[in-house]
Every structure is written in C-alpha cells, then in structure tokens.
A = this chain, B = another copy of it.
Amino acid sequence: MATIRDVARHAGVSISTVSLALNGTGPVSEETRARIDAAVAAVRYTPNLMAQNLKRGQSKLVGMVLGDAANPFFGRLFGTIDKQISGHEHMLIVANLASDPDRELRTLTLLKRHRVAGIIMTPLRNDPEFAAYLNEIDVPVVLVDQDVDGTALDFVTSDHHRGTEMLTEYLARLGHRRIAYVGGQRSMWVARRRLEGFRAAMAKADIPVEPEFEVVADYSADLAYDNVIRLMSAPRRPTAILAANNYMAIGALQAVTDLGFRCPDDVSIAGIDVVAWSSIVMPRITTVEQPIEDLARVASLWMMEHVRGEAVRGGPRRCHIAEPRLVIGHSCAPPPK
C-alpha cells in the first residue's frame, strides 16, 4: 500500500511538504499542492491512521462494550452512538460480553492495548474488584444503563426505579392487588433499582408485598416462563405480572397463554423495556420505554468532550438520568372480579 514516501517521490517534493500540504498545517504553494494532489491520486495514497495516531499520541478509536448484542436494546444504543461518534475519522471498536461478566475485564484490557481514546460501556459486573480496576484505568469511561458502585465515572441511565414504579402504580390503579414481580439477579445494580421501585409503589398504594410473588428470573425468557407457570398454577395466583425486562415479559406472556389463560382478560402483563418493534404484535404489551436515543446522545456527547480534551477526568461526577415513558398497550385490564 502506498506510503507518504511514494507520494513525495512522485510529486518531486520532500515528505514533510506532503504532510504539510495534506494536513493544511503549513504554507504550501498552489502549484506544489496541485502536484501533490495528483500524486496522491496516482499512487492511490491513503494515510495510515495507525502511524498518525502513534506519532500524535492520540487515537481515533473509541471502545464500546455491549452487554448483549443480540438484545435489540443494545442494537439501538449502538446504532445511535455510532451515528454520533463515527464522524470525521473516529470509529467505534465494539465488543460484546454476551451477558458473561467474566469477559468484562479481559475486554477492557484489550481495548487499552488498542489505545482507544475512550470507552463507552454497559457494565455487567458491580463489585469492588471491578470498581478498583475502573478507578485505575487511565482512559475516559462513560457508563451507560448500569452503575458501578465506588466509581465516579460519567454515568448515563434512565430512571429504573421510576420505571417499575410507574408500571406498578398503573396496575394498582386498575385495581390489582395480587401483583407478581419477575425480576433480574439481585446483584445487578439495575435489577435492584427496579425491584425497589416496585416495592416503593406497592407501599405507596398500601398493598402488602407477598414474598412468593417476587421471583428472580435472571433476565431470561425461559426462566421467566418456568416461574410464571409455577406462579399461575398455584391455588392463590397473581392477577397481574410485572416483568423487569423485555425477554421476561415475553416469557411470561408465553407461559400464561400456554396455560390457557387469556391476556388481559384473565391476567394482566406489563414489562419494562419491551422495545417498539416487538410491541406492535398482539397483544401490545404495556411497558415503560427507555429513551435510548437520549441516553446515546448524552453518552456520546460526553465521550467526545473527553476525546477532545474538554472534559476533565477527576472532576465532579456527571450523571444523566432520563425519565422513562409509560406506553399503554392492550395487555392490562382490571382484575377479573
């Protein structure tokens, strides 16, 4: 592949002149500039960004770590962030954790070796060892969706607490009192926040939480399915089910349908984050939507500030907490008498 040297030879000028001309970083006569442009075209020169970055001591690469690429939530998040970042020369180098927290550290180290200018990530782990690693990393990091306790990194999320609260309030207003909650692993920050929102709303509505109605299904459709089969087969069964993510909502819907119940006539179902293009299908599931575009916009904005050196690392922590939006579908109704 052609190098700057080839261009220089072909144009009959020195290497430095070519560099000066191409970057517009020094005075070059009109005539020389024309000869250089011609040479560039003739030898098909494409500047080597690795060499440029090495010399300049900076990088045009931004790392992005996704919790689970197969989940449409992450697809839309990535798409929007990419639109903002992949501008002039910057590009995104993306890694997928596939929901496996063990890959997290290795992935971050690999990104460091690639000398990325910054990292946007949706973390899975939330433990002191991981927090310590993040505190020592010398690359700007913006966390999205989930927090890591004990760090002071920029953080963009939606109000998960408020999200389940809104859905719970809605179900309570419809008259439900036996509301089951299908949640994620308690060790995850987001799962805890969502559970707390549920409990807060239940308390406010003065409904006692029944412990057997609070189940953990690890954000998996299959586990949610099994749990809901169990819940709905018990003599005293819930009249409404609140699932803490899209997969579990669909698993729950599948379970009640397979048992011969109709939704919403026999049982109401609501879910967090059931993204638009699946909720078109019947029955449209009542959900709270995270404003993904908004999250992505703020995350990439802050990242670019870091990359351009405008934001200081170690300054006060920046948090952006977006308000989720209640989208009422056809999956909820007053409880059967």
Q: Do residues A1 and B277 form an inter-chain contact, with CB atoms below 8 A?
A: no
So how many copies of this chain end up in the complex? 2
Inter-chain contact B1/A138, CB cutoff 8 Å: yes
Residues of B contacting A91 with CB < 8 Å?
93, 95, 110-111, 114
Contacts of A60 on B, CB cut-off 8 Å?
114
**Taking the complex as formed, is A187 at the interface, i.e. its CB lies under 8 A from any CB of chain B?**
no
Q: Mark A270-297, 1 if CB is under 8 A from B, else 0.
A: 0000000110111100000000000000
Do B75 and A71 touch (CB < 8 A)? yes
Q: Which residues of B contact A74 (CB under 8 A)?
A: 75
Q: Given A53-B50, A282-B283 in contact, is the A83-B70 Cβ separation under 8 Å? A: no
Mark interface residues in A166-188 (1 if CB within 8 Å of B CB, else 0).
00000000000000000000000
Contact B82 A95 (CB under 8 A): yes
Query: Is A250 a contact partner of B54 (Cβ separation < 8 A)?
Result: no
The 7 closest A-B pairs by CB, nearest first: A69-B79, A75-B75, A281-B281, A94-B94, A278-B278, A82-B96, A93-B93
Q: Which residues of A contact B (CB under 8 A)?
A: 1, 46-51, 53-54, 59-61, 68-72, 74-76, 78-79, 82-83, 86, 89, 91-96, 98, 107, 109-115, 138, 221, 247, 250-251, 253-254, 257, 277-278, 280-283
A-B contacts, 7 of them at CB < 8 A, read: A50-B114, A51-B54, A86-B95, A93-B93, A277-B278, A278-B278, A282-B282
